[in-house]
Amino acid sequence: MTPGSGKPGTQALIGAFVLGGALLVLGTIILFGNFHVFTPTLRAAIVFQDSISGLAVGAPVNFRGVRVGSVQSISVQFDAQTKIAYIPVIVEIDLSKVIVTNRKRDDAADVTKVIPPSLRAELDMQSFVTGQSEIDLDFDSASPAELHPHITALPEIPTRQSTMEKVTEQLSKLPLKELTDDASATLKSLRALSEKFNASIPPLIESLRATSDRADDVIGNAGRSIAELQGRLDGTLAAVSRLAAIADLQISQRGGELRTVLMSTNQTVVQARDVLTDLRSFTAERGSDHANIDSALRDLATTAASLRGLANEVEHNPQLLLTGRRP
């Protein structure tokens, strides 16, 4: 059979099979590959100078937690004059997920004007387990915009420090050596103090124990002495009470006897006064005997009054025999 003698139907079938396979391969590439044939996208550059460990091609680009794109390529560019290495990361942003309202009609065709001037990019940890990183976008007008037109011709999104980078910078500024030296000196002081305590506390405990034992003995002796003294005081109080009762009885008895004596003495004084009165009638009015008798009568009268007063007071208060009259 000659090459041109094949059946037309067979050739058409083979051609259709080849075309279908090609379309299937193309559809698979478009479906599972990172291609956006019918989706408007924006390619932008993010230039890093520090390490981007954990960032790989295909890593997500998020805006406040919403995925708006992915990383397309990562490269390293070294400036021979400044001796600085730059890491431009090309990202592709899906514009269908970013709706810009109130945009000017003149800016509709220029996709580079979609990026706001205050938009910043930072590198954040995507997973602490796998160590993968991602790029987060957000507005931050306070962060200065550092652009690199000599690195890339694409629209550039300036970078800002991430939370981890800020923490690392703060830690790097800490005087770790001084803190370590101070901590070592503190530990040495604590160790020396602990050794002193270990050396001094046992004797102190023994001294406290001995003092406690002596205090217990003293307290025991004092308790016994107080008990004995209390017994003696009880006996003394009982004796004093009995003595007071006896004294009251005796004073009452002696008070009656003393009143009788005083009354008898008063009668004697009255009789003596009567005798002197009779004698006075026999003496001359101006004689010396008459004057003496008058003086004796006045003294007897005063004595009799005093004896009567003393007798009345003793009768009402026999304690005067012990305490006497108070001024």
Rounded Cα gap, residues 324 and 12, in angstroms: 162
| Phi, psi dihedral angles at 261 (to 5 degrees) | -60, -45
Band of pLDDT at residue 103, cut at 50, 70 and 90: low
- Spatial CB neighbours of 325, under 8 Å, sequence gap ≥ 6: 313
- Taken as a whole, the chain contains a residue count of 327
Rounded Cα gap, residues 139 and 120, in angstroms: 6
Q: How far is CA 132 from CA 75, 125, 160, 172, 304, in A?
A: 18, 6, 19, 24, 133
In this structure, how many other beta carbons lie within 10 angstroms of the beta carbon of residue 293? 20
Band of pLDDT at residue 137, cut at 50, 70 and 90: very high
Torsion (CA) 156, 161, 164, 168 in degrees, nearest 10? 130
Helix (H) or strand (E) holding 125: strand 119-125
Q: Cβ(90)–Cβ(73) under 8 Å?
A: yes
- Report which of 149, 167, 166 is spatially closest to residue 158, judged by C-alpha positions: 149
Rounded Cα gap, residues 304 and 32, in angstroms: 150
Could you read off the pLDDT of 141-178 as tens digits, one per residue? 888 888 888 888 898 999 988 777 777 767 777 777 78
Q: Cβ(106)–Cβ(94) under 8 Å?
A: no
Could you read off the pLDDT of 180-226 as tens digits, one per residue? 888 888 888 888 888 777 777 778 788 888 888 888 888 878 778 78
Torsion (CA) 94, 97, 101, 104 in degrees, nearest 10? 10
62 pLDDT higher than 70? yes
Write out 66-101 in H/E/C secondary structure.
Answer: EEEEEEEEECCEEECCCCEEEEEEEEEEEHHHCCCC
* Token digits of residue 119: 């938009």
The whole-angstrom distance between residue 148's C-alpha and the CA centroid of its chain comes to 53
102 pLDDT higher than 80? no
The whole-angstrom distance between residue 40's C-alpha and the CA centroid of its chain comes to 60
Band of pLDDT at residue 89, cut at 50, 70 and 90: very high
Can you give the pTM of this predicted structure? Answer: 0.44
Strand 66-74 with 60-63, pairing = antiparallel
In this structure, how many other beta carbons lie within 10 angstroms of the beta carbon of residue 159? 22
Q: How far is CA 17 from CA 26, 30, 149, 216, in A?
A: 14, 20, 50, 113
* Token digits of residue 243: 């003595």
Compute the average pLDDT of residues 90-118: 70
Rounded Cα gap, residues 245 and 251, in angstroms: 10
